[in-house]
Amino acid sequence: MEKLTFYAVSAPEKLDRIGSYLAERLSRDVVRHRSGYVLIAMEALDQLLMACHSQSIKPFVESFLHMVAKLLESGEPKLQVLGTNSFVKFANIEEDTPSYHRRYDFFVSRFSAMCHSCDSDPETRTEIRIAGIRGIQGVVRKTVNDELRATIWEPQHMDKIVPSLLFNMQKIEEVDSRIGPPPSPSAADKEENPAMLAENCFRELLGRATFGNMNNAVRPVFAHLDHHRLWDPNEFAVHCFKVIMYSIQAQYSHHVIQEILGHLDARKKDSPRVRAGIIQVLLEAVAIAAKGSIGPTVLEVFNTLLKHLRLSVEFEARDLQGESISSANLNTSSKDSDEKIVQNAVIQTIGFFGSNLPDYQRSEIMMFIMGKVPVFGTSTHTLDISQLGDLGTRRIQIMLLRSLLMVTSGYKAKTIVTALPGSFLDPLLSPSLMEDYELRQLVLEVMHNLMDRHDNRAKLRGIRIIPDVADLKIKREKICRQDTSFMKKNGQQLYRHIYLGCKEEDNVQKNYELLYTSLALITIELANEEVVIDLIRLAIALQDSAIINEDNLSMFHRCGIMALVAAYLNFVSQMIAVPAFCQHVSKVIEIRTMEAPYFLPEHIFRDKCMLPKSLEKHDKNLYFLTNKIAESLGGSGYSVERLSVPYVPQVTDEDRLSRRKSIVDTVSIQVDILPNSSPSDDVVSNTEEITFEALKKAIDTSGMEEQEKEKRRLVIERFQKAPFEEIAAQCESKANFLHDRLAQILELTIRNEAHDRGREKLQVPPKERTSAYSYIDFGVETGLCIMWHSKGAIDRNCASEIFFSIAVSFIFST
């Protein structure tokens, strides 16, 4: 062997003949089963291969690989292992220049077949499988580093390599279920345990995957899991994708997530447990990817999950309909529970994914989910519910709101405007007045997640009379200007939904607890002196509604409202720390404890509570009195004039939208500015006919200034003296009813008038009229945009003069 090695090194051009001769001898010895000569020949080849690194080794390698192939084709396990060991040694040699004509298709196929060895002897079977895995590892190492020879990543090779490795990984008895990375196998396990060796090879393969071939390496995993039905139970599937997510480069994580989503779409008609298994795998993948790079798939993940949530609800509703038609189906209940497993898996995945997103992305996801929530009577949602029916629609509403609740959990915004913008608040409050107590509960819980910026909600849990609020150690900060403006804009909307939510006839104890928490959180997070007065007015209005009972509520619900008012006034009186107010509230609660305990939350929400037959005969000392509250707050500097004005719910956007008509429906609109409230109002007619001609005449300001001044004075006086809620309740719907029509008529009138006056005043020569008129048009349009951008702050009588001035200035400056 020493002489042969010296000869080969001294005369490398002879390597080709040496290799051919040894290959011929080895082929003959293999056929004749002369194992001793085969071992000698392979040892000689191995030593020559390790000793010679010249350019002329290329032909020798071809002979070497041909001999390895002969050994692998033999049916003797020892020769297969011998050939594998020789190939592994060859794979570890770094060649100076790649050989582009060399292919390893045969070795991929043969090593993959060895990984599935079914030899009757367990030791032999294990030995062959280990040899097959090591052979695949050698092929990967030999080919994967050279970018110009990327045939190993072709689908026909990956479809053999990946399932072979997964087949051996499947033998792991104890799958690590921890969130962290799976433990690295020891050196002894790598050599003796096919499962650990296969997992190590799989990690190495995925670690070398790049952007272009990542999908080819992942897709065979889905085929293997489908073929062997490993989604239910899905412990092995979860383990596989943990290995994948921790092995690939972080920037490619979104590719794996996209593949899981695509496979979920492909298996959407499978059994619920299979779909639930895939969704749980997605959850594990998202949990790992969220710590690194998720990529551009954020909305795609949520869109796919919400689509499958709708499909699950649709399947569940279909099963329930089938059950009602034919009660003989005994599997319906199990299918129903299986679909709930899918739905819970979707919600859990949405919540976990959303909670790991940065705040700016989480607010977008909140808007995205809210846009999917169907609301009866509207078509603003983007989710197809045509196949669901009423029961399915209710179910999808609950599921989407539960998803939204998970996403908003832990969300902390610096200002309430960021957490509850108008585009999100309006659709969120829409389902808060539905005839379903569970939907109302979910809406309130979402509101609490967004309002509670100082983690006070846990301290307020449960509706009760708190003896000393200071013991709760409530955290609060000074109300910022943005929060104050939010309450000025949206406060009445929040009060209305709380007020009407308290009067729903299907309320249970949890509804009253959440409503109480809502009032308390508004007091903590958003209340200045003006908001405190509004909240007290709201509480008194709830008390009055329970006493009068115009909505024909049951006695339990009337007493529940009374208990809610008592708990809240006890809380707010201690929060603002006005002694006289606290004294009045404490006195009423003390009297109720002795004479009417069913007006207190500790008693009314017990299982067996004695209820009164009526509330009309009760002493007024059992009620919170407006005059006593106004007297106590007025002595501490609060502006209490508004306490004497009963609370009236504000007109909603839904009411306003339902009254709107198209501008082409009418030519003349009768507008009732304000109803007659006193004899002095007769000076001004409170109705005015607005037509195109009337507006055109109004543009000419000559002779109308005095009349307009008088009108303005009366309107200003009306708005200064009348309570705000009264004005809002009477005028808002009518004002909004006119806004769009008046805007369009006025715009058309002003545009035409400004164009005509501009062309008359500017004596433009005929040859230059086209250019000059275009300048006039552009100037008028510019002025029009500026005027309407001010949102109606300009008096309509001077609008034409403003437009004309802007147009003329633009023309002369040009």
- The pairing of beta strand 687-690 with beta strand 669-672: antiparallel
Provide CB contacts within 8 A for 253, sequence distance 6+.
245, 285, 288, 289, 292, 293, 294, 295
Q: Which residues does 806 contact at the CB level (< 8 Å), separation at least 6?
A: 779, 780, 782, 783, 786
User: Which of 89, 62, 68 has its CA nearest to residue 80?
Assistant: 68
Q: Tell me the pLDDT tens digit for each residue of 199-221.
A: 999 999 999 888 888 888 999 99
d(CA 5, CA 17): 14
Contact 309, 399 (CB under 8 A): yes
Contacts of residue 709, Cβ cutoff 8 Å, sequence gap at least 6: none
- Burial (0-12, 13-18, 19+ Cβ within 10 Å), 667: exposed
What is the reported pTM? Answer: 0.69
Confirm if 282 and 257 have CB atoms less than 8 A apart.
yes
| φ, ψ (nearest 5 deg) of residue 117 | -55, 135
| pLDDT(316) > 80 | yes
- Token match 């001035």: residue? 805
Question: What is the phi/psi pair of residue 490, to 5°?
Answer: -120, 0
Hey, what amino acid is at 342?
V
pLDDT grade for 677, boundaries at 50, 70 and 90 = very low
Render pLDDT for 619-630 as a digit per residue (tens, 0 to 9): 888 999 999 999
pLDDT in tens, 468-514: 999 999 998 888 999 999 999 999 999 999 999 999 999 999 999 99
Measured distance CA(792)–CA(274) in Å, rounded: 59
Question: CA dist 670 to 248, 337, 629, 661, 741, Å?
Answer: 70, 58, 43, 14, 12
Nearest one of 363, 361, 383, 364 to 372, comparing CA atoms: 383
Report whether the peptide linkage leading into residue 233 is cis, meaning its omega lies within 30 degrees of zero.
yes
Nearest to 111 by CA among 172, 155, 163, 59: 163
Give the pLDDT score at 66. 82
Write out the two tokens for 433: 């007045």
Could you count the other beta carbons within 10 Å of the beta carbon of residue 753?
20
**Inter-residue contact 286 to 257 (CB < 8 Å):** yes
Q: What's the rounded Cα separation, in Å, for the pair 31 and 151?
A: 32
State whether residue 794 is helix, strand or coil.
coil
Q: How many CA atoms are closer than 13 Å to the CA of 630, on its beta-carbon side?
A: 13
The full DSSP string for 513-582 is HHHHHHHHHHHHHH--HHHHHHHHHHHHHHHHHHHH-TT---HHHHHHHHHHHHHHHHHHHHHHT-HHHH
pLDDT at 748 over 80: no
What is the CA 215 to chain-centroid distance, rounded?
Answer: 26
- Cα torsion 631, 637, 643, 644: sign: positive
Q: What span, in angstroms and rounded, lies between the C-alpha atoms of 315 and 388?
A: 9
* Nearest CA-CA partner of 395 in 427, 438, 428: 438
One-letter amino acid for residue 30 of the chain: V
Q: Indicate the SS3 state at residue 530.
A: helix
Least confident of 20-29, 166-175, 673-682: 673-682
pLDDT digits (tens, 9 = 90+) for 787-813: 554 545 455 555 566 666 666 665 655
Which of 591 and 706 is assigned the larger pLDDT?
A: 591
- Mean pLDDT, the chain, rounded, equals 77
Contact 319, 271 (CB under 8 A): no
Kindly report which listed range (258-267, 351-360, 437-446, 655-664) carries the lowest average pLDDT score: 655-664
Are the C-beta atoms of residues 41 and 63 closer than 8 Å to each other?
Answer: no
8 A C-beta contact, residue 454 and residue 473: no
Most confidently predicted of 590-594, 665-669, 716-720: 590-594
The answer to whether 561 touches 521, Cβ cutoff 8 Å, is: no
